[in-house]
Every structure is written in structure tokens, then in C-alpha cells.
Structure 1
């Protein structure tokens, strides 16, 4: 039921009002008596919010409804409202036809492990604890969460000077980023700030291919840099002042090196570039690897000695401030970094460059594909890690094959000290995946 980032899939098939109702029932039945609910702008968000709220109330939980807000606003509001949990109705960067539910704990971190299992088991058994007609939970609208989120970011970050920033909201929930940056003294231009769950301007995921308009606007203006959000504004990726998209690994290295000090650790997923580890060597810090997914990164970031956590996909976690990836906070932190250290292009150029390549392969049975790859290489390589998918390490590079937890894709990553070696590792991984897909299509047994 849960992927790497909550429950997510096509509305009407994978994600339904009935499922949302049951998740609400299950969440309240595990003892959560006060729950925050918010949603991104997707067309089906209001319907699913109503359904999960009904399930929560039926089993006795009181519900604070935030309406359409960024996911990090939901996560932060759990603590602000003294709640036991939060539910963000969102499919994040997925296509408009998708939707989902992401659950948040009392500390503002995503549900992982046992918390997820408890909900799944109740849904699978239909094991709920409805209350009497005169004990159903209350519901009320909480209108101040968006402003409180802006206030929290402004209180946490100082920006010297007045950098000029272009913010591509992508028709999602992240328009409060512009408000926060303006209050911090930045000059701000917005793109696609009107919420629209069909995401007409660009696909919701802020990749280099999807952010060409932002790159062009920044390059043709006097802006110091640009930022782009996904649909629920938990992600933030960036563009330099000359209009070049910044790879997520480079941005991770910049944030990590600024936040970590000698002896600190930085929590990163297993598909993170070697460049991050190399960048941290200059400040005496190290990386600690997690499974892919911001919930797993946040779980590790909550440990003592971990100064920062992040994913190259654009999820950044400052554990002293919030255990939820927060695109608005990340944009403000980037503005402070640029104002303090100089042009973003120069900062990116100073990050060690290690050739890396990523590719997504469509596969309806993505878990089965990865298992096929695992069985094929079991006796072929010495250094194999199965923390998340299958990672093979060599002295000069590595490759990773893992199933996406949010879409029917197999994700391939390869990296090495030089381009030729990286290409060789990438081809090896791709061939393993292609062979596994062919076997499944042909019905070949292991």
C-alpha cells in the first residue's frame, strides 16, 4: 500500500474514496485522536480529503482541515495544533490523474516502518473502532497555517542583501515561497502561481526537461537564480543566474557542506552521487546512507550527529527546524547561501564533478524485475548491497537498480570516476534490467 513516499497511484483504481475512508478509520483506530488534513490542488483532492476526514471522525478523531496548502504546511501544523498525526492528500510530482495520501507523525516526520504497518494491517483486516453517534469527532477549518508557515521560514533564515529570484510554482501549492522570499528582502518574480491541479504549464516534477521555461526566463533577466517546486511544494530544485539547471546532487552537496561540520553526518539515499561524499570531506563530515524516500532520510536525520538530510530529487531536510522536506524553507536557505557566498553558478562549479547517469524503465511489475536482477547477479559480484534495490560497488564506481515506490518504473543509476567507466556500468545495469523484463514478458521461471 505504501511506497517510498506514502500511498500514491491513479485515482479511481489505485487510490479511491473508499481507500481514503479506510485509511482515516485506521489512523483514528490506532489512537490518533486529533489529526490535521490538507491537500494539494489536484482535481480529486477535495473529494479524498472529505473521505479521509469522514473516516477519522467516524472513529472518534477530531480533524483540523487546512484546505489547499503545501505538504510541509501539513507536517508543520501537526505540532502547531498539538495533533497526533497529519494527512496530506497529494501525489506530489506525479501526473494529474494520480493522487495519494501521505501520513505524518506527531514530530512532523513521515510515517515509516511500524506506523505504516499498523495502518496497513487495519485496512487489510477491516479492523476499525467506530464510535457512537454522539461521540464522532469534530471538524473545523484552520485558516492560519499558511501564514504561520511563512512566519516560521522568515524566523529561521536571514538573507543579507536583496537577491532577485524567479519562483516557478508550477500551478502547485508553493506560492507561499514568493511571500516568504519577499519578506526576507528578495526581489521575486513568479511563474505559474495560480493553483491548477491539471498542471497545464509543465509536468509537476521539477526536472531539467520540465524547467526549460524557468531556465529561459532566468537567463533573459537580471535574476540571481530561479527555483521550481513540485505540486505539493515539498521539493525545490534550482537554476543558476545564467539559466543552467542545477543537478540535484550538486545542490545536495552545497546544502550539506554548508550545514555540516567536523564529525557530523549527512543522511542521503543510496542513489546519491559520490560527489556529495567528496564535497563533505573538506569539512570533515561524512554521509550515512538510507533507503530512497524522504521518510527514511528524515528518520535518519533525527539521529544525534546528523546535521542535514536530502535527496537529489529535491527534498531537503534541516532536522533542527523540520523533519519534513520543505520547498519554501529550501528556497530561503538557497537565497541566504547565494547572498553570502556569491553566484550559484560559481558555487556549483566548485562541487566535485563525478559522471553519473540515471534512467527510468517502464515496468508494471517493477519489484519482480528487481528480484530478477538480484538473482542474476547473486554470484557475479562481491560487493552487493540490498538496502533498497540492488547496488553493486566497485573501487571506481557503482550501479543501482531499484523499483520506484511511487510509479511503475525501474530506476537505474550508475556512476564512476570517468565517463567511459560510468557508461560501461550503466550499460551493464541496463542490460540486466532489459533481460529481466524480457524474462517476465516471456513467462520464464527463475
Structure 2
């Protein structure tokens, strides 16, 4: 049922009101007595959030409905309300026909594998603990969560370097408006793009990439802004554009955040997934820190980031975790952190240029049977290569680089990443990996 980021897929097929009711019942049956719920801008979230709230109340849990909020806003709010869990109805960066549910703990961390499996087992067995007729849960609404998140953001960074900074924020028709509000409060001159929440995402696709952020790149370049910020639909992701209007490579942004966190702490460990570029390892080591590789998915990164000596966790997808603030990927926090970094150490293009990079190639292959394809491709790869890492999918080290083949946790895709000393070698490894996946798909 669950991928790396909760339940997600097409509404009416994978995601239904019946499923949402079942998950609500299961979360309450598993012991949560007070649960926060909220949703992103997708219209299907209206009935899905009602359904999950009904399931929670039916099994005795009190429900606090935060309405339309960013995912990190809800995740941060669980502890503030002394609640036991949170459920966000969102498909994050997926296209408009999709929706989903993601489950959060009071620490801000997503439900781990064990807890997700417990929920799935309760749903599969329909082993719900229904409340007596006079003991069902209450439901109330609260509208203070976004303001509280904004206060946390403005308290997390030094406002002096941000004062007067010219920033363009592309909210992507999602629910990340708290970023623009926080930056204004910190003194930045902010221009917004796609600021009207609209779950059909008319301005651009929900996922922020170099290909989808052309309007932001053009606005930053033509308007002489110093920084461009972009979010996905629920604002757990944040990506950036430098002052020249150039998209900042995701792994380089991860290296900048990680290096800064290690330097500020005087050392420490940084959690990153196995598909991360070696440029991050180099940047962290130069700052006196250590990289720990995890499975792909913010829940796995957060688990390592929660350890006492960890100072940062991040994914090239645009999910950034500062454990002293929250274990939830917080796109608005990342935006404020980056603005402070640019204001004090910028320009961003020069910061990007200070990170030594390697040619990196990524690809996605649509498949009908992810697990079957991975099983078959693993047999092939094991027969060809010796240096294998199966932490997540199949990572292969070669004499001139590495490649990774893994199933997406949220979409019907097999993802391929390849990195090497030269562009030709990276492309050769990418093609090798893609060919093996296509052969296994046939």
C-alpha cells in the first residue's frame, strides 16, 4: 500500500474515499487519540480529508482540521497541538489527477516502515477498533498553523543578510505561500509567481525541475533578482535559480546546504540517499563532516538525521532536513536558509561554482511491474558486475564511475542514475543501465 512517501496515485483508482476512511480507522486503531489532518490545493482533497477524518472519528480519535496547508506546516504542528499523529492529503509533486495520504509523527518524521506496515496490516485485515456509539471522536478546525510556521521560519535564520534581498518565489499554484510571507517578514523584496492555489496546476507542472521552471528563470534574469525559489504542490520540496537565471543543480544545492550545516556545527554527519552525487561527499569531507548513505525517501534520511551527531539530511529531489528544527522536509525553511546564505555569502552562482562536480545522468523508465523488473534486472546485473550495493535498488561501482537502478516509491517508474569522471563515461553507464531495465521490462 505505502511507497516511500505514503500512499499516492490516481484518484478513483489507487486513491479513493474508501481507502482514506480505512487509513483513518487504522491510524486510530493503532493508538492515535488526537490526529491533525490537512490537505494541499487539489480539489479531490476536499472529500479525501473528510473521509480520513471520518475514519479517525469512527474509531475514537479526535481530529484537528488545519484546512489547506503546506505539508511541513502540518508536520510541525503535531507537537504544538500535543497530537499523536498527522495525516496530509497530498500527492506532493505528482500531476493533477493524483492524490494521496502521508502520515506524520510528533517529531515531524514520517511514519517509519514498521508503523506503515502496521497500518497496512490493519487495513488489509479490516481489524478496526470501532468506538462505542457515544465515544466517537470530535472534529474541530484550527487556522493558526500557517502563522505558527511563519514564526518558526523567521526565528530560524538571521534576518540581517536577507534584509533587502530581491527574491522571486514560484509557489507553483500550491500551498507554499508561507515562504513568501516569511521572506517579506525577514525584510526581503519578494515577487511571486503562480501564487494562487489551484490543484490543476495551470502555471506549470507541480514538480519543480530545470524544464518546468523556465518562467522563474526568465523572471530572475530579466528582473535582476538575486535568487529564485520554487516549490512543489505541498511545499515539502524547494529548488533554486541563481541570479543569472540558471537552475541550480539539485546535487549541488544539497552540497551547499550540507557543507554549510557541517561548517556551522564544527563537524557532524550528513544523511543522503544512495542516488546522491559524489560532489556531496567531497563537500562534506572538506568541511570536516561525514556522509551516511540511506535508502531513497525522506523517512529514511530523517531516521539518520534524528541521530545525535547528525546536523543535516537531504535528497537531490529537493527535500531538506535540519534536525534541530524539524525532521520533516521543510521547503519554506530551506528557502529562508538559502536566502540567508546568499545574503551573507553569495552571489549564488559563485557558491555553485565553488562545488566541484562530476558528470551526472538520470533517467526514468515507465514500467507496469516495478518489482518484477527490478528482480529480473538484478539477476542480469549480478552476472555482469562484482561491486554491488543493494541498500536501495542496485548500485554498481565501476572503474570510472557508478550507476543505480531502483524502483520509484511513488510512481510506476524505474529510476536510473549514473555518475562518472567524464560526460562520455556517465552517458555510457546511463545507457547500459537503461538498456538492462528495458530488457527486463520486455
- TM-score category, normalised to shorter length: over 0.9
2:330 equivalent to 1:326:
yes
- Mean Cα deviation higher: 409-418 or 378-387: 378-387
| Offset, 1:396 | 3.0
Alignment of 1:105-124 (within 5 A): 105-124=105-124
What corresponds to 2:383 in structure 1? 379
Q: Any idea what SS the aligned residue of 1:260 has?
A: helix
What corresponds to 1:132 in structure 2? 132
Alignment of 1:426-437 (within 5 A): 426-437=430-441
Q: Distance in 2 between matches of 1:325 and 1:398?
A: 27
TM-score normalised by the chain length of structure 1:
0.97
| Offset, 1:222 | 2.0
| Offset, 1:263 | 4.3
What corresponds to 2:65 in structure 1? 65
Q: Distance in 2 between matches of 1:168 and 1:400?
A: 31
Alignment of 1:181-200 (within 5 A): 181-200=183-202
What corresponds to 2:370 in structure 1? 366
What corresponds to 1:393 in structure 2? 397
Q: Distance in 2 between matches of 1:279 and 1:397?
A: 18
Q: Distance in 2 between matches of 1:145 and 1:111?
A: 21
Q: Any idea what SS the aligned residue of 2:36 has?
A: strand
Alignment of 1:148-167 (within 5 A): 148-159=148-159, 160=161, 161-167=163-169
| Offset, 1:423 | 1.6
What corresponds to 1:336 in structure 2? 340
2:415 equivalent to 1:416:
no
Q: Distance in 2 between matches of 1:383 and 1:158?
A: 45
Alignment of 1:5-404 (within 5 A): 5-159=5-159, 160=161, 161-261=163-263, 263-404=267-408
Q: Any idea what SS the aligned residue of 2:82 has?
A: coil
Q: Distance in 1 between matches of 2:383 and 2:267?
A: 37
Q: Distance in 1 between matches of 2:248 and 2:372?
A: 33
Computed over aligned residues only, the root mean square deviation of the Cα atoms, in angstroms, reads 0.9
Q: Distance in 2 between matches of 1:283 and 1:300?
A: 19
Q: Could you report, residue by residue, the CA deviation over 1:314-353 in whole angstroms, capped at 9, with x for unpaired residues? A: 0000001000001110000000000110100010011111
Please list every run of 5 or more consecutive structure 2 residues that lacks an aligned counterpart in the other structure.
none
Q: Distance in 1 between matches of 2:285 and 2:24?
A: 45
Please list every run of 5 or more consecutive structure 1 residues that lacks an aligned counterpart in the other structure.
439-446
Q: Could you report, residue by residue, the CA deviation over 1:250-306 in whole angstroms, capped at 9, with x for unpaired residues? A: 000000000014541110011000110011121111210111111111111001211
Q: Distance in 2 between matches of 1:304 and 1:422?
A: 36
Q: Distance in 2 between matches of 1:263 and 1:375?
A: 40
Q: Distance in 2 between matches of 1:379 and 1:320?
A: 44
Q: Could you report, residue by residue, the CA deviation over 1:336-373 in whole angstroms, capped at 9, with x for unpaired residues? A: 00011010001001111100000111112122111111
Q: Distance in 2 between matches of 1:143 and 1:352?
A: 45
Q: Distance in 2 between matches of 1:155 and 1:377?
A: 49
Q: Could you report, residue by residue, the CA deviation over 1:62-85 in whole angstroms, capped at 9, with x for unpaired residues? A: 000000000001101101100000
- Mean Cα deviation higher: 423-432 or 64-73: 423-432
- Mean Cα deviation higher: 385-394 or 83-92: 385-394
Q: Distance in 1 between matches of 2:188 and 2:267?
A: 34
- Mean Cα deviation higher: 228-237 or 385-394: 385-394
What corresponds to 1:443 in structure 2? none
| Offset, 1:381 | 1.3
| Offset, 1:395 | 4.0
Q: Could you report, residue by residue, the CA deviation over 1:401-437 in whole angstroms, capped at 9, with x for unpaired residues? A: 1111111111010001111221221121111111111
Q: Any idea what SS the aligned residue of 1:135 has?
A: coil
